[in-house]
Amino acid sequence: MAITDKKVSETYAGRDISSLSDRPNEDGLTGAQLKARFDQLGKEVIPNYNDLIDELNDVVLPSKADQSTTYTKIDVDLALTLKVDKEAGKSLVSDATITDLTDGLDTTLHTHDVRYYTETETDVILALKSDVGHTHDDRYYTETESDSLLNAKVDKVAGQSLVSDSVMTDLTDLGDSSAHYHSTDRNTDNHTDGTTNKVFSATEKIKLAGVETGAEVNNISDINATDLTDGLNTTLHIHTADRDTDNHTDGVTNKVFTAIEKSKLNGIEALAEVNNISDVNATDLTDGGNTTLHIHDIYVDKVAGKSLVSDTAITDLTDSGDTTLHTHKSIQNEVSVDNAKVEALSTGVKFERNVADANTTLLVNVKNASSTGNIVDFTVTGISKAYLSRAGVWIVGSTGYQNGGMYYANSDNSYVNVLSTGTKISRNIADANPALIVNQVNPSSTGKILDLQFGGVSKMNVGTDGTIYGQTLANRSSFSNSYLDLVSTGTNISRNIADANSCLKINQNHTSSTGLITDFQFGGVSKASVDKDGVIKIGTKTPASATATGVAGTVCWDSSYIYVCINTNVWVRAALSTW
């Protein structure tokens, strides 16, 4: 084995003692890290040193007295292995001394106790002292005297002079100034319109002088002015008193109606004719006896509340059959019997409508807004079983179908039970249809499809995109068995059963799938994944050093090495090679 094989390995570089600073503890090195340096020193040096001693055991070095002896390169190399290079300002020190000086503890070789000032303490003390040979006599101003004299001065600036505050205010307050003004600025010929105030021309000022104080803008067009002043009727201007009929008088053609005359006119039937019957004839017609002017060959006595009806009509109304005059069996639309009708049958009352439009077959309207009754009430022997309130709420009685439920389809197919213990939706048909469909028909709706609440507070809901919002999904038999907890600090998957089953199983069931089984992402970028063959892919990372921050069990890689953190902030690595 060549002597060069005993060199310290390159992997030791950067972890030797000489690379340590004078104050390792101040550089952030812990006791454990410092101990690791010295342990590595022994691992690197002692085995090679012992092997070297064994190899040199049989070598006899030439005596200094034997000046005629010739040394080979091997002899010189062996001798040099027992020496170190000289460096100016450095001396050989024992390992014990180095340890004593670098372990961060007090040393018998050199101490810093209370007899010494620290650098900070020394700086503070020296800052309060003056140089030797420096005095402050009456030739010098004190700091207070200097500050007082300087405070009474202002800095000199070329081209500037002192001006009193009152003059400065007069010059800068935007008002008239006796100290300074511009005659051209006072000439209105040099003024221009501002946003709020405008410049008056000589013509405009003359025009303004000709307008009376308090005059209003004339918004009347020439046409309207003519309409108001031509002495004819106008719709632009009226006099209320002229429209009051109490102020009207008879004209040649038109006359004024008095209230009595108008009341009399209102009592005359339309198309009424003038009565040309004489008083004699009037008595003859109204005395109850026969008259040559008007006779009744056949007459009956008048009875209050009764009218004459033909025998045919009476028979038609009273023979218990259908009649063209009156029916109790069917009420139908006058346009067409197919349009809409109501039939009173032995099997029940039938509402029927056969028109292809958007109107309702049966419309029940409570027209009186003050009514407090229900819109519809379904009764059996006078007892309410269900009703629709004015608020539009269906109320089902306690003795209704299925102990208070609302019946739909038939008892075997599907129904809804409204019970004191909760609302039950049931369906008993062997097909592929769901028991409950909740459909938000309007595509513009932004509300939830379904919202499950407790005490008026949403606990779980389904958004319009199908997303389920909630916090915890638990095993129905026991919450302690397994659950998925969606909290702000992260998703927690928990299972508390003593068996051989997995806590989390992810199964890509389709054998033709080419996608990943899992894909772990951060910010939409894949950081680790597992493909269908079970191959795990992890992201690249290069630790800064063997003592970089790390957690035991962490594995990462780069193009040259694979790194494993075997303890807190302790990394090892293995070189990668091709084959």
Q: Say whether both 543 and 479 belong to one domain.
A: no
Best-predicted range by mean pLDDT (179-188, 270-279, 495-504, 524-533): 524-533
Band (69; pLDDT cuts 50, 70, 90): low
Cross-strand partners of 460: 452
What is the pLDDT, as a whole number, of residue 111? 62
- Other CB atoms within 10 Å distance of the CB of residue 563: 19
DSSP letter, residue 375: S
What average pLDDT does the chain have?
Answer: 76
Residues 87-124 have pLDDT tens digits of: 877 777 777 777 777 776 666 666 666 677 778 888 88
Would you say residue 308 lies in a domain? no
Q: Of the candidates 3, 9, 8, 7, which has an alpha carbon nearest to the alpha carbon of residue 73?
A: 3
Q: Say whether both 538 and 488 belong to one domain.
A: no
Band (405; pLDDT cuts 50, 70, 90): very low
Give the β-pairing of 561-567 and 555-557.
Answer: antiparallel
DSSP letter for each residue of 185-237: GG-GGG----SS--PPPHHHHHHHHTSPTT-------HHHHHHHHSSS--SS-
Would you say residue 378 lies in a domain? no
Question: CA-CA distance, 186 to 168, in Å (whole number)?
Answer: 21
Rounded mean pLDDT, 358-363: 82
- Write the CB contacts of 405 (distance below 8 Å, at least 6 apart in sequence): 396, 415, 416, 417, 418, 419, 424
33 within 8 A of 20, measured Cβ to Cβ? no
Q: Of the candidates 83, 81, 61, 82, which has an alpha carbon nearest to the alpha carbon of residue 72?
A: 61
Question: CA-CA distance, 515 to 533, in Å (whole number)?
Answer: 11
Would you say residue 80 lies in a domain? yes
Rounded mean pLDDT, 253-276: 79
Is the per-residue pLDDT at 64 higher than 60? no
Rounded mean pLDDT, 38-58: 71
Would you say residue 65 lies in a domain? yes
Question: CA-CA distance, 268 to 125, in Å (whole number)?
Answer: 128
Q: Say whether both 18 and 106 belong to one domain.
A: yes
Q: How many domains does the chain have?
A: 3
- Other CB atoms within 10 Å distance of the CB of residue 324: 7
Would you say residue 35 lies in a domain? yes
Question: CA-CA distance, 228 to 215, in Å (whole number)?
Answer: 20
Q: Say whether both 482 and 522 belong to one domain.
A: no
What is the pLDDT, as a whole number, of residue 564? 96
363 within 8 A of 355, measured Cβ to Cβ? no
Helix, strand, or coil here: 351? strand
Residues 544-562 have pLDDT tens digits of: 999 999 999 999 999 999 9
227 within 8 A of 234, measured Cβ to Cβ? yes
Helix, strand, or coil here: 565? strand
Number of H helices and E strands in the chain, helices first, is 13, 21
DSSP letter, residue 365: -
- Other CB atoms within 10 Å distance of the CB of residue 221: 9
Cross-strand partners of 458: 453
Q: Which two tokens stand for residue 481?
A: 């068995």
- Other CB atoms within 10 Å distance of the CB of residue 284: 16
What is the pLDDT, as a whole number, of residue 348? 75
Q: Which amino acid is at 365?
A: N
Is the per-residue pLDDT at 86 higher than 70? yes
Would you say residue 254 lies in a domain? no
Would you say residue 341 lies in a domain? no
Cross-strand partners of 416: 406, 425
550 burial type by CB count under 10 A (0-12 exposed, 13-18 middle, 19+ buried): buried
Domain that holds residue 78: 3-84+91-111
What is the pLDDT, as a whole number, of residue 325? 61
Question: CA-CA distance, 32 to 29, in Å (whole number)?
Answer: 8
DSSP letter, residue 184: G
422 within 8 A of 414, measured Cβ to Cβ? no
What is the pLDDT, as a whole number, of residue 511? 87
Band (399; pLDDT cuts 50, 70, 90): very low
Helix, strand, or coil here: 493? strand
Across 34-43, 60-69, 359-368, least confident range: 60-69
508 within 8 A of 519, measured Cβ to Cβ? no
Question: CA-CA distance, 570 to 579, in Å (whole number)?
Answer: 29
Rounded to 5°, angle at Cα 150 from 146 and 152: 125
Exposure string for 94-104, b = 16+ CB within 10 A, e = fewer: eeeeeebebee
Is the per-residue pLDDT at 273 higher than 50? yes
Percent of the chain with pLDDT over 90: 9
Q: Of the candidates 519, 561, 521, 520, which has an alpha carbon nearest to the alpha carbon of residue 540?
A: 561
What is the pLDDT, as a whole number, of residue 403? 39
Question: CA-CA distance, 363 to 351, in Å (whole number)?
Answer: 11
| Three-state SS sequence of 65-129 | CCCCCCCCHHHHHHHHCCCCCCCCCCCCCCHHHHHHHHCCCCCCCCCCCCCCCCHHHHHHHHHCC
Would you say residue 75 lies in a domain? yes
Q: Say whether both 7 and 106 belong to one domain.
A: yes
Best-predicted range by mean pLDDT (109-118, 396-405, 512-521): 512-521
Q: Say whether both 493 and 523 belong to one domain.
A: no
Question: CA-CA distance, 352 to 361, in Å (whole number)?
Answer: 7
Residues 175-232 have pLDDT tens digits of: 666 666 677 777 878 888 888 888 888 888 888 888 888 777 777 777 777 777 777 7
Question: CA-CA distance, 57 to 376, in Å (whole number)?
Answer: 120
Is the per-residue pLDDT at 537 higher than 80? yes
Question: CA-CA distance, 2 to 403, in Å (whole number)?
Answer: 102
Question: CA-CA distance, 270 to 126, in Å (whole number)?
Answer: 128
**To which residue do tokens 């004299």 refer?**
149
Across 177-181, 277-281, 308-312, 375-379, least confident range: 177-181
Q: Say whether both 488 and 525 belong to one domain.
A: no
HSE of 73, CA atoms in CB hemisphere, 13 A: 1
429 within 8 A of 414, measured Cβ to Cβ? yes
- Write the CB contacts of 156 (distance below 8 Å, at least 6 apart in sequence): none
Q: Say whether both 555 and 466 belong to one domain.
A: no
Q: Say whether both 26 and 78 belong to one domain.
A: yes
Question: CA-CA distance, 479 to 473, in Å (whole number)?
Answer: 9
Rounded mean pLDDT, 7-16: 55
What is the pLDDT, as a whole number, of residue 411? 47
DSSP letter, residue 5: G
What is the pLDDT, as a whole number, of residue 402? 39
Rounded mean pLDDT, 157-170: 76
Band (38; pLDDT cuts 50, 70, 90): confident
Q: Say whether both 476 and 531 belong to one domain.
A: no
Question: CA-CA distance, 68 to 352, in Å (whole number)?
Answer: 141
What is the pLDDT, as a whole number, of residue 562? 95
Q: Of the candidates 320, 356, 362, which has an alpha carbon nearest to the alpha carbon of residue 341?
A: 362
Q: Which two tokens stand for residue 178?
A: 């006796």
Q: Say whether both 481 and 553 belong to one domain.
A: no
